[in-house]
Amino acid sequence: MPKRDKLAYSAAMISILTLISKALGFFREVMIANRFGSGMETDTYFVAVTGTVIIMGTLGAALNTTLIPIFTEIGQKYGKRGKLKYFNNVINIVLAITLIIVVLGFIFSPIIIRILAKDFEGDQFLLAVKLHRIGMPIAIFLGLTYVFSGLLHSSQIFGPPAISGFPYNFVFLSYLIFFCKEANVVTLMIVSVIAAFFQFLILVPATIHMGYRFRLGFNLYDRYLRKAVGLIFPVLIGSAVQQVNVIIDKTLASGLQVGSISALNYASKINEVVIAVFIMAITTVVYPMLADAFARDSIGDVKKILGQGINIILIITVPATIGLILLGEPLVYLFFQRNAFDEVATYMTSQALIFYSLGLVGSSLRLMLNKVYYSFQDTKTPMVNGMIAVVVNLVFNLILIKPMGHSGLALATSISATVTTIMLFISLRKKIGPIGLTSYLICFVKTLAASLIMGIVVFLIYYKLGGLLPAIKPVQIIVLLASVAIGALVYFGLCIVFRVKELGIILRKI
């Protein structure tokens, strides 16, 4: 199968599985909003969860990114047996590190919460510390999930990681639907730990099928381990500075209107659905291909794979941006507003969603470009770029928070993502020569034109035609889904008219 067809085929498979998983995840967020609303307790829960996952999430993402090219290199030189031996060494080290993180996190929990939410006081502060300590075991399961996923991705086994969200969401939904008799965030955090365990557990059978058997003990003098350590620190710093953005946003939001943290959380989750379903699918498939092309010293293949990936991302994210701007508020209203989630929460969440969506293209392209640098085993450029992103985000946070409140924090995030993505393009061109920027711009212009026309059609259907129909939720949901479906048909039809060639690859494989 040609590389471009393999990319599209694998990405389509992952997208379908991830779409189902994210649909469950979206329903999970709807149920949490339904049961717990958007107020003091949910603000506290989301801050505690952030404090629980931020360290291992950062380290785990860095591990996953660093290990894939190393697994690929070991597999080419020593075969599957050598790869599994190295994998076992990494697993034992990660277990040791995560246990230390859990202990330190438990001890220093008050300090962590004070950093994340400087304005939490009294009972809210004590509740946040309690939730954070309960949730610390998540760090162990999260670390293992990242390493197991790295092994499977390096072997181009994408199915199990793609469905790992299924058990995670099923645990939450089982609790929220059948056992949540009253809104208790302590129980919700316990459920979060159980869900993280099952998310990891579903990856184990695939590694056993590969022939892996766990053995205690590790070798700190393994040369590939030393190589991973040398590569991981810049990636770790780069991932950490991205988490710093999250900390800054939540810290500033903790001093705003009650519900601001929850509104930002719900809005970012909706925005991330597009990235998780489509963009992560593409970058997940592309990264091992890029690592393999680099191992063969084939810059030509790198550029071809990169070109395919970027144009496919543009085809997806440009219309998604227009759609979220137009339909952000009705989307939040129809799917979230009920019971404890009131009109104020709907308005706050939808405003944050609109401004987050402005950075969707930039955030998605940055994910792809970072993978290119990592495939070259250049981990310093993304690190420096991430530091710049923090500075840009902080500057615009301080400028926009006063006039715009929590919406200003969302807009600052979008501006930061766009600026730093442009910088990555410029640096990559200097590193490997011409990368086809003209073709990317042509694809962007075509998809933007098609998206704007699509936007007009969606606006007329939902706001004009829909305004003539009864203002009841079942009817509004049908109108929303119909406007999205018709808008998608209009968009894809225009892309065919405009001869956006990557669309043909996607449609043929789907």
pLDDT tens digit sequence for 53-79:
877 777 777 777 777 778 877 887 888
Alpha carbon separation from 325 to 8, 23, 147, 447 (Å, rounded): 28, 20, 36, 16
Question: Are residues 296 and 3 in contact, defined by beta-carbon separation less than 8 angstroms?
Answer: no
In this structure, the number of other CB atoms found within 10 A of the CB of residue 218 comes to 17
pTM (two decimals):
0.67
Nearest 5°: phi and psi at 250?
-70, -35
Taking each helix axis as running N to C, give the angle between helix 437-459 and helix 299-336, from 0 to 180 degrees, rounded to the nearest 10.
Answer: 20
- What sections of 275-379 are H helices per DSSP? 280-295, 299-336, 343-357, 360-375
262 or 412: which carries more pLDDT confidence?
A: 412
pLDDT tops 90 at residue 383:
no
Q: What average pLDDT is seen over the chain? A: 82
What's the one-letter identity of residue 129?
Answer: V
Distances (CA, A) of 1 to 6, 148, 158, 289, 455: 6, 27, 17, 13, 36
Q: Which band of pLDDT confidence, cut at 50, 70 and 90, is reported for residue 159?
A: confident
Q: Does the pLDDT of residue 43 top 70, yes or no?
A: yes
Which whole number is the average pLDDT over 6-25? 69
Backbone angles phi and psi of 108, in degrees to 5: -100, 20
Kindly compute the dihedral angle of the four CA atoms of residues 48, 50, 53, 56, in this order, to the nearest 10 degrees: -120
Higher pLDDT, 166 or 67: 166
CA distances from residue 378 to 142, 180, 280, 371, 505 in whole angstroms, order as listed = 25, 47, 20, 10, 30
Instruction: Kindly indicate the confidence band of residue 368, based on its pLDDT and cuts at 50, 70 and 90.
Output: confident
pLDDT reported for residue 100:
92
Q: What is the pLDDT of residue 453?
A: 94
**Residues 355-368, mean pLDDT to the nearest whole number:** 87
Helix, strand or coil, per DSSP, at residue 338? strand
Residue 107 has pLDDT above 90, yes or no: yes
pLDDT digits (tens, 9 = 90+) for 199-213: 999 999 999 998 899
Lowest-confidence region among 12-16, 53-57, 261-265, 458-462: 12-16
- Say which DSSP state 255 is in: T
Main-chain dihedrals φ then ψ at residue 12, nearest 5 degrees: -65, -40
The separation between CA 92 and the C-alpha centre of its own chain, rounded to angstroms, equals 27
Give me the phi and psi of 175, to 5 degrees please: -70, -50
Q: How confident is the model at residue 363 (pLDDT cuts 50, 70, 90)?
A: confident
Q: Is the pLDDT of residue 8 over 70?
A: no
Q: Is the pLDDT of residue 484 over 80?
A: yes
Task: Give the bridge partners for 341, in sequence order.
Answer: 338
Q: Taking 60 as the threshold, does the pLDDT of residue 506 lie above it?
A: no
- Residue 266 is encoded by which pair of tokens? 């719900």
**pLDDT above 70 for 343:** yes
Rg (CA), the chain: 22
- Could you give the CA distance from residue 305 to residue 430 in angstroms, rounded to a whole number? 18
User: Distance between CA 424 and CA 445 in Å, rounded?
Assistant: 20
pLDDT for residue 50? 84
Q: Is the per-residue pLDDT at 280 higher than 80?
A: no
pLDDT value at residue 196: 93
pLDDT-based confidence at residue 300 (cuts at 50, 70, 90): confident
Q: What is the pLDDT of residue 454?
A: 93
Specify the amino acid at residue 346.
Answer: T
- pLDDT, average across residues 453-474: 85
For residues 91 and 207, the answer to whether their CB atoms sit within 8 Å is no
Please state, for a pLDDT cut of 70, what percent of the chain lies above it. Answer: 89
Q: Report the range of poorest mean pLDDT among 30-34, 170-174, 458-462.
A: 30-34
* Pick from 88-97, 273-282, 417-426, 458-467: least confident: 273-282
User: What CA–CA distances, in Å, run from 4 to 23, 239, 301, 463, 500?
Assistant: 28, 29, 10, 39, 15
Whole-number pLDDT of residue 240: 66
> How confident is the model at residue 371, as a pLDDT?
79
Alpha carbons within 13 angstroms on the beta-carbon side of residue 424 total 31
pLDDT of amino acid 310 = 84
The answer to whether 388 and 420 have CB atoms below 8 angstroms apart is: yes
pLDDT higher at 338 or 248: 248
Lowest mean pLDDT among 18-32, 110-124, 235-249, 344-358: 235-249
Q: Is the pLDDT of residue 422 over 80?
A: yes
User: 176 and 35 in contact (C-beta within 8 Å)?
Assistant: yes
Percent residues over pLDDT 90 in the chain: 19
The band of 403, judged by pLDDT with boundaries at 50, 70 and 90, is confident
pLDDT score recorded for residue 229: 74
Which run of H or of E encompasses 237?
Answer: helix 223-253
Out of 19-28, 70-79, 103-112, the most confident range is: 103-112
Which residues are CB-neighbours of 37 under 8 A, at least 6 positions away?
A: 183, 339, 340, 341, 342, 345
* Per-residue confidence band for 452, with pLDDT thresholds at 50, 70 and 90: very high
Residue bearing tokens 């990169």: 306
- In the numeric block, which tokens belong to residue 202? 């579903």
The pLDDT value given to residue 15: 66
Task: Give the pLDDT score at 379.
Answer: 75
